Amino acid sequence: MILSANVFPFIYFIPIILISLSLSVLLIASKWIIYNKAGKPGWAAIIPIYNTIVLLEIVKKPWWWIFLLLIPLVNIVFIIIIYNNLAKAFGKDVGCTIGLLLLGFIFFPLLAFGNSKYIWNEETPSAN
């Protein structure tokens, strides 16, 4: 079978598409399990906007922070705070926060499939 010159360049995109889909499925599964570990419904991880509201509940922040995440540059600061509190909620330190920010495709599965447990229960006051 001879490939035409118009189709041949697109063959190089197939591995990129497969890797992207694989990472997407891995991250969705990881967030699903993280939400379940925190006592929230796992399916919330796949619903846009609602998944952020549930994440804010997990890290003990008010729901209206979602509006702060819409402000450019301000959202970067609040994402760092949210991921830091997520790491703390599972008993991890600042190293995990940096990992979640820079290498999320590695650290979210580590948080989900590892032996970490959600340690912030209902009695835990709002995180700092």
DSSP 90-118: TT--HHHHHHHHH-HHHHHHHHHHSS---
> Position of tokens 């447990």?
117
Q: Decide if 25 is inside a domain.
A: yes
Residue 65 inside a domain? The answer is yes
Number of folded domains in the chain?
1
Provide the 8-state DSSP code for 122: T
Tell me, yes or no, whether 126 lies in a domain: no
Within-domain flag for 124: no
**Tell me, what's the pLDDT at 127?**
55
Question: Which one has a higher pLDDT value, 76 or 8?
Answer: 76
Q: How far apart are CA 60 and CA 125, in angstroms?
A: 8
pLDDT interval class at 14 (50, 70, 90): confident
Q: Which tokens hold the place of 126?
A: 């709002």
Domain of residue 49, residue span? 13-113
Is position 95 within any domain?
yes
Question: 15-19, 53-57, 124-128: lowest mean pLDDT where?
Answer: 124-128
pLDDT of residue 44: 95
Angle at CA of residue 18, ends 100 and 10, nearest 5° = 130
Q: How confident is the model at residue 128 (pLDDT cuts 50, 70, 90)?
A: low
Banded pLDDT at 51 (limits 50, 70, 90): very high
Please enumerate, as own/partner, the contacts of 113-116 that have beta carbons within 8 Å and a separation of 24 or more.
113/30, 113/33, 116/37, 116/90, 116/91, 116/92
- pLDDT value for 84: 96
Position 126 pLDDT exceeds 90: no
